[in-house]
Structure 1
Amino acid sequence: MTTINHDHPLIYYHGRWDSSPGTWWAGSGFKINALNLHSLIVILGEHTTAPCAPIAVSVDNSEFFTMNASAGAHYIPLPESTKATPSVVRINVEGWQNNRIHLDSIMYNSSKDAILLPYRPSKLAFQFIGDSLSAGQFLPLGVNQAWPFIVGERYKAEHRINAQPGATLTDIVSYGNVHGVSYQYFRTEDTGFYYTSDHNFTTPWNFSRDRPSATHIVIHIGANDASQGITGDQFVQVYSDFLERLRKVYPKQPIFIFTPWGWPNEDAPTYYYYPGQYEKIVNTRKAKGDKNIFLVDTIGWVGMSDVYSDNKHPNVEGHQNIANHFTAWLENWGLSP
């Protein structure tokens, strides 16, 4: 067997990893590309979530399957077809919390017959920013069943999902989050850092590590701000300031601002928070000369059959429905899968 350490240049990391290296945020992971691969073992270190962190594995664009990973060695099952052609193995954390894996090393069959190759990322890269409605909270397979992940897969794109359940955009304490997304998005760690004894601090995220840089930015946020009593005027100001900071990272990329699809009700109309405020946010940017910002009107995308009745978050079918709507919107905008 051949062993490569976590710092091997042919391991392609995506999402947010700290220096250990360990994952933060749902969907973070890595990819490897190899020829004649027929044995693969991933060895995880001590900072992996105990007792385990669910990970999703895909080989050559197969459907992802779930493994419960803990510190130690994990044999990754491979199909017979990997022995003859170059094979890409993709691994990411599924969970919206307790989702840290600490990569120590990777073992594969002897370098005499297996050859590690560069992974060539897609030129299309989505950056999704949000809260529980984008992170896959309550879904059986977590973020891998969430609409951002589905959209990224349909476009065969690189996709990064920085979504924090319970978090506001405003930088306040909210549902166990000690910071809002307007702060946390620019950090390596998600807000779980606060509860992690071996890593209870934050570090700035180096956006040059995103390879390639995001080509399209998608934002759906605000439900928790409304729940925490942030007024419409306050929300518009926070969102506008956040977009100013984003433009320093992504000066020309299209930014898609979702309106709320709201909270459906059995016996009452759907509740939409901050009516008219998202339009104001987008129009203010356009008035400043930003020609690459777009409002995505999601009203009517989600009904009672699309959500869990006890918490109103999208269910599996609901996330698929949202992905269908957004894919159709993007196609109409001019971006085809």
Structure 2
Amino acid sequence: MAQFITSLLCAVKAALFLLCAQVQSQLTEAGSVVVRYDDPLIYYNGRWDDEPETWWTSSGFKINVQNLSNLTLNLGPYTSNPVLLGVSINYGNFTGFNATQGANVIPLGDLTYASDAVVRINSVGWQDNHMNLESIELNAGANLLPYRPSHIAFQFIGDSLSAGQYLPLGVDQAWPFLVSEYFRGEHNIQAQPGIALSDIDSYGNIHGMSFQFFQTEDTQYYYDPLHNYTTPWNFKRDYPAATHVVLTLCSSSSRTYCRCVVHKTYINFLENIRIIYPVQPLFIILPWGWPNPEGPPSPYYVGTYQQVVNHHDVYPSNLHPTIQGHQKVAGYFESWLEEWGMVAEGR
């Protein structure tokens, strides 16, 4: 009896082996290699929920592929219709691509990348920026390799002036993204137009950044019938952990605050951030103030931001910067960081 059971098990194993071989053969004949969303060789950045679906602008992923000639994104039902994606091959400039639910063939040009090809894809919109990744389909013969992240990792925290509102390619043309690209670093950008610092309703944001930064979702969750709740973000999912933290806040709803509220709220916010980033340098960039057609901008809360720093030792008609304006801001900050001692990562 035992011998019969052993023989039966061997026969079942052999049949399963043949079935797997047939399936693999069919996949090869179909001319594609399918990579599921949970493949450990996909390097995610930004904030994704369990669907997985992106939240916050610039959330995306990176893959390193050998023998790449075709790439298709299969996106699920939680994808914005459409969602504007930024696509970069081998650290080249990002180009825009409108993707929708279903299969999306990503343009790679006429080249076949026999050696390693790093593909970076992110959601660039300041709203309608949900990418629900189900799988990535590559050409037959493609081989997924580990992605090597930079040792420099920025965490940017801001509002519309950091989110790239009104720019054609959204956050990919905004100064935080440009600074990260300049230093060849990784980045997360938690920036939402109209958001206040305090946890108050501001321009449709029902929470302030002092609350929302610690959540997986940005403030769009409130208007999403499929996902109208928040979940705390697990900062251990940020890999690598941020090495530099940059804050630019309070340009939205500044007139609703008194100085004492700004000072106290900012201090408390930084104390909570310090729990997550105990040794990383914090950079506080002052908003450039209310526009003035007859002279320089009027600054917000003169002296208040300097008090916060000391405590912690450390356009057009819509009043937002143009593409050239963001480049100018990025250039100033890049020069400042280089004088401070930062050196771009080599690749």
State the TM-score, normalized to the length of structure 1. 0.91
* Deviation of the 1:236 alpha carbon: 0.6
* Deviation of the 1:244 alpha carbon: 0.5
Task: Tell me the equivalent position of 2:233.
Answer: 205
Task: Tell me the equivalent position of 1:232.
Answer: 259
Whether 1:35 aligns to 2:66 is yes
2 CA distance for matches of 1:121 and 1:83?
Answer: 20
Task: Tell me the equivalent position of 2:27.
Answer: none
Task: Tell me the equivalent position of 1:13.
Answer: 44
2:124–2:169: 8 Å Cα contact kept in structure 1?
yes
1:35–1:82: 8 Å Cα contact kept in structure 2?
no
* Deviation of the 1:269 alpha carbon: 4.2
Task: Tell me the equivalent position of 1:318.
Answer: 325
Whether 1:47 aligns to 2:83 is no
Alignment RMSD (CA, Å): 1.0
2 CA distance for matches of 1:82 and 1:148?
Answer: 32
SS at match of 1:224: coil
Task: Tell me the equivalent position of 2:118.
Answer: 88
* Deviation of the 1:264 alpha carbon: 2.8
The one of 25, 35, 51 equivalent to 2:56 is 25
The one of 216, 219, 223 equivalent to 1:195 is 223
Whether 1:115 aligns to 2:143 is yes
2 CA distance for matches of 1:269 and 1:148?
Answer: 23
Q: Which amino acid aligns with 2:300?
A: Y
Task: Tell me the equivalent position of 1:56.
Answer: 86
SS at match of 2:306: helix
Q: Percent identity?
A: 51
1 CA distance for matches of 2:275 and 2:122?
Answer: 28
Task: State the Cα deviation string for residues 255-292 of structure 1 (Å, max 9, x = none).
Answer: 00112222332124421111100000011122xxxxxx
Task: State the Cα deviation string for residues 180-225 of structure 1 (Å, max 9, x = none).
Answer: 0010000000000000111000000000100000000000001124
1:225–1:235: 8 Å Cα contact kept in structure 2?
no
* Deviation of the 1:76 alpha carbon: 1.2
Equivalences, count: 313
SS at match of 2:284: strand
Structure 1: gaps (5+ residues): 287-292, 294-306
SS at match of 1:85: strand
Task: Tell me the equivalent position of 1:182.
Answer: 210
The one of 320, 328, 331 equivalent to 2:335 is 328
SS at match of 1:244: helix
State the TM-score, normalized to the length of structure 2. 0.88
1 CA distance for matches of 2:109 and 2:127?
Answer: 30
SS at match of 1:41: strand
Q: Which amino acid aligns with 1:279?
A: Q
Task: Tell me the equivalent position of 1:67.
Answer: 97
1:43–1:72: 8 Å Cα contact kept in structure 2?
yes
2 CA distance for matches of 1:330 and 1:135?
Answer: 21
Matched ranges for 1:227-266 at <5 A? 227=255, 229-266=256-293
Q: Which amino acid aligns with 1:236?
A: H
Task: Tell me the equivalent position of 1:78.
Answer: 108
SS at match of 1:19: coil
Q: Which amino acid aligns with 1:336?
A: V
Matched ranges for 1:94-113 at <5 A? 94-110=124-140, 113=141
* Deviation of the 1:311 alpha carbon: 1.7
Task: State the Cα deviation string for residues 118-146 of structure 1 (Å, max 9, x = none).
Answer: 11110100010000000000111100000
1:129–1:162: 8 Å Cα contact kept in structure 2?
yes
State the 4+ residue runs in structure 1 displaced beyond 2 angstroms: 79-83
2:179–2:334: 8 Å Cα contact kept in structure 1?
yes
1 CA distance for matches of 2:86 and 2:295?
Answer: 38
Q: Which amino acid aligns with 1:232?
A: R
Task: Tell me the equivalent position of 1:167.
Answer: 195
1:150–1:323: 8 Å Cα contact kept in structure 2?
yes
Task: Tell me the equivalent position of 2:311.
Answer: 284
Which stretch shifts more, 142-151 or 264-273?
264-273
2 CA distance for matches of 1:311 and 1:54?
Answer: 22
